[in-house]
A and B are shown apart, each in its own frame.
Chain A
Amino acid sequence: MSLTAKDKKMVKAFWAKVSGKAEDIGCDALSRMLVVYPQTKTYFSHWKDLSPGSAPVRKHGGTIMGGISLAVASIDDISAGLLSLSELHAFQLRIDPANFKILSHNILVVLAVLFPNDFNPEAHVAMDKFLAAVGRALSEKYR
């Protein structure tokens, strides 16, 4: 399920529309993940406040969206573009890759909430494929 030229075009166009709200998207997606999938809180035991929209959640949501932006810019070779992020996740963070799907789902929910008209079925399939590709790239160095 690799990204076709059509997918890449759609992702770039859609990202151009929504990237202005990247921090809000990241904050909301992370907030939802921590509430809807409470097992994900285990990775953030060092944070004081895990509630939706809290300062650490907002900051980290922004960091994650920075990675997504990098992936969009590297869309022709996401593995190469995310190489050091993959090493970070593999050797330092060691987040179970199953969680990439969970966060991706919550990003899609937030895109639907914030951009109900732009996030049409064609944008949905392209973004779903793109986020899956990002998850695969992040898992590259795990073993």
Chain B
Amino acid sequence: MVDWTDTEKSTISAVWGKVDINEVGPLALGRVLIVYPWTQRYFGSFGDVSTPAAIMGNPKVAAHGKVVCGALDKAVKNMGNILATYKSLSETHANKLFVDPENFRVLADVLTIVVAAKFGASFTPEIQATWQKFMKVVVAAMGSRYF
């Protein structure tokens, strides 16, 4: 099980409290599809993802970005039990969606960069460390049901 100090818990709550899922979700998912274009393989039904402009303007990408970011909310609210919280999401990604778990690492990195852009210098090294620890736990939980 993961140990969180009180400081780490309040840091994650504070950062997440300032994140607008409806803004950050679409930005993060769009950026993943642009920076790592092979990830587009999972979104054949999303329509035009042929250029960065098309991706950032695509309503299905935006909607799905909100879904993905929305799921992070569950982790923030259940920091003591992220593994259990994501058990069925992990199973779905493994057995129904067939998503390579490497993509969770990729999304975590891009989300960190989007959050950094939003917060600027107030995203201090210490806050980055706590945020990345949180991302690491979420990524591990999402990969936990892949056999």
List chain A positions with a Cβ less than 8 A from chain B: 31-32, 34-36, 52, 105, 108-109, 112-114, 116, 119, 121-122, 124-125, 128
Contacts and interface: CB of A to CB of B under 8 A. Distances in A.
A105 B109 contact: yes
Contacts of A105: 109
A124 B116 contact: no
Top 9 nearest A-B pairs by Cβ distance?
A: A116-B117, A35-B125, A112-B117, A121-B34, A112-B116, A125-B35, A36-B129, A32-B125, A112-B113
Given A35-B126, A36-B128, A124 B120 contact: no
A113 B125 contact: no
B31 A124 contact: yes
Contact of B34 (A31, A52, A125): A125
Interface string B1-41: 00000000000000000000000000000110011000000
Counting contact residues on chain B (CB < 8 A from A), the size range is: 20 to 34
Interface of B: 30-31, 34-35, 52, 55-56, 109, 112-114, 116-121, 123-126, 128-129, 132
Contacts of B113: 108-109, 112, 124
A109 B97 CA distance: 30
Contact of B132 (A31, A36, A52, A116): A36
